[in-house]
């Protein structure tokens, strides 16, 4: 998957799931569950125990149209570990050396940024898109203001974005939103997978309705 394909796919699906928990096996099960319910892009945070093992397991079992990446990727070493585990894209929480390292390997990079300077710096370093994080800090109005000087920069809203908040971020110009806790809950730590599936279906349905409303 090239960065261009990643960007096109993410813009179409409007969603990327953020899986972070206390158990790698449970995280893998949670990721596969949301994929089965319609999420095409899932990141597993490297702060999750045995995250790399989870990524390998997900990659081996994921539907053909689904992609797994790693979050909280900070260093060049992290990038190489993710690639070795089968990760297909990386996500950073901030401006870090992993941006250039990932871009140099041709990986899609979703780089964390909050301020105008950080957003510009992320794209300059080779990011495919900017992860506005934490998006809840400024809300949709902040994203809208941020896009005024950067109309061609693709933004993904992450951090405190649930079903209630997602439509406003899409309306403000986010190409996608990245639900974490509001989607996954405690499933990545061994919690209820059925409840997770219900939430995943709700997010996918919401994204589809928003997409239909945008078509001419």
C-alpha span between 73 and 165 (Å, rounded): 26
Answer whether 206's CB lies under 8 Å from 177's CB.
no
Q: Which H or E element spans position 137?
A: helix 135-147
- Is 43 known to be catalytic? yes
Residue 197: closest CA among 19, 34, 31: 34
C-alpha span between 120 and 113 (Å, rounded): 9
- Residue 155 CB coordination number (10 Å): 23
C-alpha span between 27 and 190 (Å, rounded): 8
Choose, from 12, 29, 37, 43, the residue flagged as catalytic.
Answer: 43
Answer whether 172's CB lies under 8 Å from 11's CB.
no
Choose, from 64, 131, 171, 214, the residue flagged as catalytic.
Answer: 131
Edge to edge, the sheet with strand 90-91 lists: 17-19, 41-45, 67-71, 90-91, 109-113, 129-132, 155-158, 176-178
Q: Which of the residues are catalytic?
A: 43, 131
């Amino acid at each position: 998957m090239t960065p261009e394909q990643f960007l096109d796919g993410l813009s179409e699906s409007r969603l990327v799931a953020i899986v972070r928990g206390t158990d790698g096996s449970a995280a893998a099960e949670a990721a596969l569950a949301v994929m089965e319910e319609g999420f095409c892009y899932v990141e597993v945070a490297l702060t999750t125990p045995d995250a790399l093992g989870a990524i390998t397991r997900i990659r081996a079992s994921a539907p053909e149209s689904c992609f797994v990446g790693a979050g909280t990727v900070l260093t060049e070493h992290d990038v190489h570990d993710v690639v070795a585990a089968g990760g297909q894209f990386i996500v950073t929480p901030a401006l870090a050396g992993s941006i250039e390292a990932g871009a140099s390997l041709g990986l899609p990079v979703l780089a964390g940024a909050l301020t105008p300077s950080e957003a510009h710096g992320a794209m300059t370093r080779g990011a495919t898109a900017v992860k506005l994080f934490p998006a809840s800090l400024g809300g949709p109005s902040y994203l809208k203001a941020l896009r005024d000087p950067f109309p061609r920069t693709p933004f993904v809203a992450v951090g405190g974005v649930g079903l209630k908040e997602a439509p406003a971020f899409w309306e403000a110009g986010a190409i996608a939103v990245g639900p974490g806790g509001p989607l996954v809950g405690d499933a990545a730590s061994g919690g209820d997978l059925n409840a997770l599936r219900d939430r995943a279906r709700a997010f996918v349905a919401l994204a589809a309705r928003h997409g239909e409303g945008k078509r001419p």
